[in-house]
Structure 1
Amino acid sequence: MTLATLAEVLQPALKGRYAVAGLVTLGWEDMRAFVAAAEAEGCPVILQAGPSCRAHTPLPILGKMFRHLAENASVPVVAHLDHGYTMQECREALDSGFSSLMFDGSRKSLTQNIDETAEIAAMAHAAGISCEGEIGFVGYANGENSAGTDPDDAAKFAVETGVDAMAISVGNVHLQQDKEGGLDIARIRAIEAVTRVPLVIHGGSGVPVAQRSALARGSNICKFNIGTELRMAFGDALRAAVNSDPSRFDRVTILKETHDPMVAATRRVLRAFMAE
């Protein structure tokens, strides 16, 4: 069994100067490919159930899927709740077998965010699992604007919540389809100067690959969330499978053809985060 907590994969990454990919899942086909890619590269992987995934599949089912993959994998696999917005949601994930909870209180006041994140971190730690929090709001492409992380707020948040990982807003944006942006290195360095908690970048698909690698190997960013990039790869593979034979209708046959392209795309993502 290789089910791991977030702390168990991020602390070695912090010391070893590499990062671990938090891969946003939507269904069995992509999560199975993500684990296969991690096994091929010999690295840990974080399977993430975000809001859109949970809207499609109930948390208790996702927990069983993640744990089944972890228990049969040759590398550490984290079963991670991504963007949990309430105590109830986080507790349900814990009860469903998740090994890591991410509580997102980034839209709340600093005081409320700290208080609620600390409560969820305490619940997670009492159960022997990990907790990620977010300080500073990471916006959305063609949607809500970001509010950058203040380093002093980050220092206070890290100490008072006791989180195992801290998501920060430093120029990253969710759902970005191109890689033309870049992260605010000066802000990252200022945050690193006041805390040793492993840092997390949400919206990693929009970060240029060269910058991902440089930060994985030369900063305290130990986790990059990748969603849009791999969803696009899955869409391309599915479209090719459907169009190759318009008379086919068996979805099992069609979906099977997405596996190898998804493994290949995921391996490329994972390699960028490895130590030199």
Structure 2
Amino acid sequence: MTLATLSDVLQPALAGRYAVAGLVTLGWEDMRAFVAAAEATGCPVILQAGPSCRAHTPLPVLGKMFRHLAENASVPVVAHLDHGYTFDECREALEAGFTSLMYDGSRAPLAQNIEETARIVEMAHAAGISCEGEIGFVGYADGESSAGTNPDEAAQFARETRVDAMAISVGNVHLQQDKQGGLDENRINAIQSLTDVPLVIHGGSGVPVAQRTALARGTNICKFNIGTELRMAFGDAMRTAVNADAARFDRVSILKETHDPMVAATCSVLAGMGHGVSEA
């Protein structure tokens, strides 16, 4: 069994100067491909159930799916709740077998975010699992704007919540389909000069691959969340499969044809994380 907590995979990443991919899942087909790619590359992987995934499939079912994949994998697999917005939702994920909780209080004032996140960290640690928090709101492409992370507030947040990982807002944006942007490396350096907690980048699909690799090897960024990039790959594979035979209607046979393209796309993502390569 290779079921792991977030700390189990991020602390070695912090020491070894590489990052671990937090892969946003939507269903069995993509999560199975993500683990196959992790095994093919020898990388640990974080399977993430975000709000849209949870709206489609109940948390107890997702917990069993994640744990089944982890128990049969040869690499560490983390069962991670992404963007939990309430204490009860986080507790449900814990009870469903998740090994990592991400509480998102980034829209709240600092004091409230610290108080609420600390409460969930305490619950997670009492159960022997990990907790990620977010300081500085990460916006959405064609939606809400980001509020950049204040380094002093980030240090206070990390210290007072005792999170195992801290998501920061440094130019990253959710749901970005291109890689024309880039992260604010001066802000990243200012944050990591004040705290040694592993850092997380949400909206990693919009970060140029070369910058992902450089930051993984040269900073305390230990986790890039990747969703849009792989959803686009899945959509392309699905269209190809459907359009190959207009008369075909069996969804199992159609979905099977997404597996190999998704494994290949995920292997490409994992190759950009600098896994196992030190700065030296």
| TM-score interval (norm. to shorter) | over 0.9
User: Match for residue 177 of structure 1?
Assistant: 177
User: Match for residue 85 of structure 2?
Assistant: 85
User: Match for residue 253 of structure 1?
Assistant: 253
Q: Distance in 2 between matches of 1:11 and 1:227?
A: 23
Q: Distance in 1 between matches of 2:228 and 2:37?
A: 17
Letter in 1 for 2:40: A
Does structure 1 residue 188 correspond to structure 2 residue 185? Answer: no
User: Match for residue 120 of structure 1?
Assistant: 120
TM-score (norm 2): 0.98
Within 5 A, what are the aligned runs for 1:1-276?
1-273=1-273, 274-276=275-277
The Cα of 1:46 is off from its aligned counterpart by 0.0
Letter in 1 for 2:5: T
Name the count of aligned residue pairs.
Answer: 276
SS at match of 1:252: helix
Q: Which digits, 9 at most, give the CA deviation of each residue in 1:214-260, with x for residues without a partner?
A: 00000000000000000000000000000001110000000000000
Q: Distance in 2 between matches of 1:188 and 1:275?
A: 22
Q: Distance in 2 between matches of 1:90 and 1:255?
A: 31
Moved over 2 A (4+): none
Q: Distance in 2 between matches of 1:58 and 1:275?
A: 35
- The sequence identity of aligned pairs, in percent, is 82
Q: Distance in 1 between matches of 2:40 and 2:134?
A: 31
Q: Distance in 1 between matches of 2:276 and 2:231?
A: 25
SS at match of 1:46: strand
Q: Which digits, 9 at most, give the CA deviation of each residue in 1:104-157, with x for residues without a partner?
A: 000000000000000000000000000000000000000000000000000000
Native 8 Å contact 1:81 1:90 kept in 2? yes
SS at match of 1:24: strand
RMSD: 0.4
Native 8 Å contact 1:217 1:275 kept in 2? no
SS at match of 1:177: coil
TM-score (norm 1): 1.00
Q: Distance in 1 between matches of 2:272 and 2:229?
A: 14
Q: Distance in 1 between matches of 2:7 and 2:163?
A: 9
Unaligned runs of 5+ in 2: none
Letter in 1 for 2:272: A
The Cα of 1:275 is off from its aligned counterpart by 3.6
Q: Distance in 2 between matches of 1:192 and 1:12?
A: 17
Q: Which digits, 9 at most, give the CA deviation of each residue in 1:30-79, with x for residues without a partner?
A: 00000000000001000000000000000000000000000000000000
Unaligned runs of 5+ in 1: none
